[in-house]
């Protein structure tokens, strides 16, 4: 099973929407998928579940969120509770988020330092996300886990990324996304190296320590507006900078020469702004590319639905190819 995070230091680029729609698209392509909400804001959970369902979830005294599965370890006990995922579909298991997860930050920071001394409990704390994800994946025989993270470079995201084989970087066509890329790229390389050093010091009694490759799979240009199939001029400047910024910040390569974004093999997709569909999709709690006329997607919306489906299908196939995920033959 592959674990893939969608991550950027810049918020508001459509990261959570990307994870949600990719989970449904990989399900369309025949895979069993885990969607793990490791952002304390729990936005991914709110895409899958309505507020009444989330309120009931948080009121239950059960291990039904990522935090509640981890809490015994946080409180000093040895192990985790067996997570009870939610199932929005037979092929999708949701690891629900929890606002209380933010309480874990300080513990994760201490544990990261203590891993350098080979302390067993420190490794159990850092690898807790990987173990929760693995248990959820085993429940449905998942081929793939998609992880949603908050837009910061804190200890929680650092620990969560040790559970991830690959990282997809969503960008918007603006200065702040490009700068976010320049921030997150060197940090990813640093964390990857630090975890490799710590992993070698894991004591024998701590098994299944994830490799935490955090290998960059590429970037997705999100929400660019087009006119006559060409990006609006205001966005072209920033889209043109993305290939060089990705090479320099994420791969540690020279920024120049770099191809245009249309010819960049590291650009997994350029997704249009399907703003008109998003409001309908959120209302009926469905992915945009599965909207039907009965949902309110009528007239010209159906052409947008088809474009959206093809765009996300091409993106899912590109991610599968980059990350070594086998898709069923259809």
Least confident of 74-78, 143-147, 160-164: 74-78
Q: Which residues, other chains included, contact 315 with Cβ-Cβ below 8 Å and sequence gap of 6+? A: 22, 25, 220, 268, 269, 271
Phi, psi of 7 (to 5 degrees): -150, 140
Mean per-residue pLDDT, 149-166 = 96
Is-contact 181 242, C-beta < 8 A? yes
Q: Point out the least confidently predicted range of 54-63, 88-97, 186-195, 297-306.
A: 297-306
Q: What is the CATH number of the domain that holds 259?
A: 3.40.50.300
The mean pLDDT value of the chain amounts to: 92
Q: Is the omega angle on the peptide bond into residue 257 within 30 degrees of 0, that is, cis?
A: yes
Average pLDDT for 46-72: 94
Tell me, yes or no, whether 224 lies in a domain: yes
- Range(s) of the domain holding residue 35: 2-323
pLDDT at 319 over 80: yes
User: Residue 227: what pLDDT?
Assistant: 45
The fraction of the chain above a pLDDT of 90, given in percent, is 77
Res 297: pLDDT? 85
Cα angle for residues 28, 30, 32 (degrees, 5° grid): 100
pLDDT band of residue 169 (cuts 50, 70, 90) is very high
Average pLDDT over residues 100-128: 96
Q: What is the tens place of the pLDDT at every residue in 195-212?
A: 999 999 999 988 889 999
Determine the pLDDT at residue 232.
64
pLDDT in the model for residue 9: 84
Domain total in the chain? 1
Residue 329 lies in a domain: no
By DSSP bridging, strand 267-272 and strand 144-148 are: unpaired
pTM of the predicted structure, to 2 decimals:
0.94
Tell me: pLDDT of 184 over 80: yes
Is 328 contained in some domain? no
């Amino acid at each position: 099973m592959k674990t893939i995070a969608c991550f950027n230091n810049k918020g508001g680029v459509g990261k959570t929407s990307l994870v949600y729609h990719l989970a449904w698209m990989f399900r369309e392509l025949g895979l069993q998928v885990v969607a793990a909400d490791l952002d304390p804001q729990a936005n991914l959970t709110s895409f899958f579940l309505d507020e009444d369902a989330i309120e009931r979830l948080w009121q239950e005294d059960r291990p039904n969120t990522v935090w509640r599965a981890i809490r015994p370890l946080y409180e000093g006990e040895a192990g985790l509770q067996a997570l009870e995922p939610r199932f929005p579909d037979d092929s999708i298991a949701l690891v629900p988020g929890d606002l209380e997860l933010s309480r874990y930050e300080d513990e994760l920071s201490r544990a990261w330092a203590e891993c350098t001394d080979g302390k067993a409990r420190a490794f159990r704390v850092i690898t807790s996300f990987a173990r929760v994800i693995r248990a959820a994946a085993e429940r449905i025989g998942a081929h793939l886990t998609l992880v949603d993270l908050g837009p910061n470079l804190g200890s929680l995201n650092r620990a969560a990324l040790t559970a991830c084989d690959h990282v997809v970087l969503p960008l918007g066509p603006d200065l702040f996304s490009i700068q976010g890329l320049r921030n997150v790229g060197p940090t990813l390389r640093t964390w990857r190296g630090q975890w490799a050093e710590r992993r070698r010091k894991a004591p024998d009694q701590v098994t299944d320590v994830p490799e935490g490759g955090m290998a960059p799979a590429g970037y997705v240009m999100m929400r660019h507006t087009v006119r006559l199939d060409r990006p609006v001029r205001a966005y072209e400047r920033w889209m043109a900078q993305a290939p060089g910024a990705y090479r320099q910040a994420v791969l540690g390569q020279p920024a120049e020469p770099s191809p245009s974004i249309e010819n960049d093999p590291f650009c997994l997709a350029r997704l249009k702004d399907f703003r008109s569909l998003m409001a309908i999709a959120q209302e009926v709690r469905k992915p945009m590319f599965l909207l039907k006329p009965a949902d309110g997607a009528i007239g010209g919306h159906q052409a947008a639905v088809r474009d959206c489906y093809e765009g996300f299908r091409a993106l899912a196939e590109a991610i599968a190819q980059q990350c070594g995920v086998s898709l069923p033959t259809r």
